[in-house]
Amino acid sequence: MSTNPPFSRRSLLRQASCGFGYLAFSALCQERVLAASSDLSAKPTRFPARAKRVIFLCMSGGPAQLDTFDYKPQTGHKKHPGSVFPFSRHGRSGLWISELMPETAKHADKLCLLNGMHADTGNHAQSFHQLHTGDRLRKRPSLGAWISYGLGTENQDLPGFVSLNTAKPQVYSSAFLPTVHSGTPLGINGENMSRATIPNISGDHLPAALKRRQLDLVQAMNREHASLRAGDEALESVIASMELGFRMQTEAPGLLDTRTEPAGVLARYRVGHSVSEGTCKPSDFGRQCLLARRFIEAGVRFVEVNHGSWDQHQNHRRDLKANCEATDAPIAALLEDLDQRGLLEDTLVVWGGEFGRPGLTPGDGKNETGHNANGFTFWLAGGGVKGGHVHGRTDETGARAVEGKVHFRDLHATILHLMGLAPNELTYRHEGRAHRLTGPEGGQVVKEILA
């Protein structure tokens, strides 16, 4: 009796006619994979998710950890500079928080401080790129694009990823992922967000029905073009993006109109509020935070909010105070609203920048800070993390992480894990190999901070 197994349909396709049938079958499968990867429909998680959405409060330039959330008492020793602004304990947890963040401090029991953050470089461009994409140099999809790719959006009339007040495309790029997962940028660095709109999203030059007929004509030509180029990822993604753009016309303009908010809400978010004199540019950060809340309420999966000008080499005290004044109350209003609306439980809020800063030396007359990638602070809130908790520690100078060290790839892994995704298994094949946000090294989930 023969021991050879019978032919399966797949093995027959592979072996018959020199495998041409199998090649056609593979191409068909690839088309289906591409169609699925360009789909923004909400996707199932690998395991129960603690967070359904993310708001990333990006403080571009490198916040000084010793004068915000990593308290180091001054000793008078030049090697132990300490915090130059007073700190005090807050909440039942007794978290140490600077006097520069009085409103955020009221939510101390919601915060999970990561005081052992570290990165690979103190160069702004490279570290900022690594924070967003996991890679220092090469063009790679951003964190928001990966989450959109892995989970889709909860509202098919809105994108899965919105990026507010951004000047750098890598912040919202989908790179080699389908274009439909790119972030939708709103506003540019330093712009008043009250003027920020989505380009070409509104207009009454044509009735809605005629706009639909117009798009149908264009899409028919697109699909005919795509049929001659089976498996062309870029074409499939453009077709999906155009459909999304059409659907956004009905919902996005209303979300951007914050005039519908009560006056008390606008006041709590400090919309249009002027900051103290400093080198930082007012960016209407309060409006960004309010828009972030409105977008995630409407079903957007990932929203990034940006505030620049934390690159304080001189005038440290003045400019840090101005930056904190611009961001403190809006962040507190955001946390308060998320909590009161029952959203904080499954919304992960992330705060931080591309690195930190060394402390000032007391009594030397200088008021300057440099770059420090060896130890700095992030904080998380909501979305399945421990509130009123401190993880990690820097050394006595605050310059180097020595306990509970968390790299950017570990932060990324933890965010993906909280979203119900397997961080080192979320991959996309490009140029012959599988890529992932956590890079070749992979990231470790920081299990100590999980609630």
Q: For residue 221, is it within any domain?
A: no
Residue 434 lies in a domain: yes
Q: Could you tell me how far CA 443 lies from the centroid of its own chain?
A: 17
Nearest to 74 by CA among 62, 90, 86: 86
**DSSP 3-state percent helix, strand, coil across the chain (nearest 5):** 40, 15, 45
CA 111 to chain centre: 18
- On whether residue 436 sits in a domain, the answer given is yes
Q: Output the pLDDT for position 24.
A: 40
User: Is position 382 within any domain?
Assistant: yes
Number of domains the chain contains: 1
The span from the CA of 246 to the CA of 441, in Å, is 40
> Which residues constitute the domain of residue 426?
52-194+252-449
Residue 199 forms part of a structural domain: no
The reply to whether 203 falls in a domain is: no
For residue 25, what pLDDT is reported? 38
CATH code assigned at 96? 3.40.720.10
Instruction: Give the per-residue pLDDT at 112.
Output: 98
Give the pLDDT confidence score for residue 288 in this predicted structure: 93
173 is a domain residue: yes
Residues 389, 249: Cα–Cα separation, whole Å: 42
Predicted confidence pLDDT, tens digits, the chain (451 residues): 444 555 555 454 445 444 444 334 343 344 434 445 667 788 999 999 999 999 999 999 999 999 999 999 987 666 667 899 999 999 999 999 999 999 999 999 999 999 999 999 999 999 999 999 999 999 999 999 999 999 998 888 888 999 998 878 888 999 999 888 999 888 765 445 555 555 555 556 667 777 667 766 776 787 777 777 776 666 676 666 666 666 666 677 778 888 889 999 999 999 876 655 554 444 589 999 999 999 999 999 999 999 988 998 888 999 999 999 999 999 999 999 999 999 999 999 999 999 999 887 655 566 888 899 999 999 999 999 999 999 999 998 899 999 999 999 999 999 999 999 999 999 999 988 999 999 999 999 999 999 9
In a domain, 137, yes or no: yes
